[in-house]
Amino acid sequence: MKDKYKDLFSPYTFPNGVTLKNRIVIAPMTHWSSNPDGSVSEVELKYYARRSSGVSAVITACAYVLPNGKAFHGQFAADRDEMIPGLRKVAKTIQEQGAKAILQIHHGGRLCPPELVPNGEIVSASAVPAEKPGMKTPRALTENEIKELVEAFGEATRRAIEAGFDGVEIHGANGYLIHQFFSPHSNRRTDRYGGTLEKRMTLPLEIIDQVKSVVAKYAKSPFIVGYRFSPEEPETPGITMADTIAFVDVLAGKGLDYLHVSLHDFRSTPRVGVKDLTKTRIEYLLETINGRVPLIGVGSIITADDAKEALDTGISLVAIGREMIVDPDWMQKIEEGRENEIATCIYTDQQEELIIPDGLWDQILNRPGWFPVKER
């Protein structure tokens, strides 16, 4: 290994005492490969086994916490106890390769396809459809339903604990339900869950408190709790960098083990809401956090130099998503001084070699620009 990459392999200890063997984690990536009932399939176990040996932790694809929260075909479930045996297999598969296993827990809200949820009824903070072609108008959740939702995130956490995971990540990013409650675009409520910026923080903070209380009650050893967020959104009105700075300031005081910013590129700069649009979002977030909680950064990290550049910003951990699908041996190649051999594209004859499930493979081939794909 070259000296300049040594920091990527240095251990990291979370505030709760759990130590990771290095600074690289796998970002949550949807794989469209669970069974139709939400149970874990054999192919996704093979997929995780192939990618978990070099990294220090794997944040899984998102698992839905309620039946009306399923956002993808082939998404796995954490909404009922019957799912625990399959989830246990996921956790064990990852841990047997030497990585910590973190279950991402999630509700799709207004982004759920109607055919995947009971009675085709999609729900959100308010009756405002997503700004995408053909999206249905959701029904606003009642306060009683919000209480049930908060409890469901707690129950999913209990299941993760019983399944042997090392932690959970609360998915508050990428336009899904928790994000919808924080967004002024999707949240037009006038009760305690909407209106002011502070009230739009209410649901995510209640979910964090519920998850932490379940961990305190059920976990017999230190258990990681992280929170993922998106710093801005393109809609008007939408989440601005100023909104996120205020929110992250609150999140940094919640006793979380980490925050995870969802970015397409870790070098990206804010759109609106701050004076200096040349400073990166990461810089603003690190200034706001001021050492109070670890920050995981993600986005367009392909090479070893990209990862070093990201870690050098001051973030605690680097999350890599697509590149770990392209080259599952990414970490090992850097450790062995073969970083120049890292693959940066997928060839159309590599599905079996890379152990990529059919659902994910179809997406890779049919979503232009998402992955670099070539023919031999």
Question: Which residues does the annotation mark as catalytic?
Answer: 176
The CA distances from residue 326 to 1, 173, 200, 246, 332, in Å, are 21, 24, 38, 36, 14
Among the residues of 294-337, which ranges form H helices?
304-312, 322-326, 330-335
Helix 281-289 vs helix 241-251: crossing angle, to nearest 10? 30
Chain-centroid distance, C-alpha 296 = 10
Q: How far apart, in whole angstroms, are the C-alpha atoms of residue 207 and residue 210? A: 5
Query: Which of 38-73 are b and which e, b meaning 16 or more Cβ less than 10 Å from the residue's Cβ?
Result: bebbebbbebbbbbbebbbbbbbbbbbbbebbbbbe
- The type of residue at 328 is P
In one-letter notation, the amino acid at residue 140 is: A
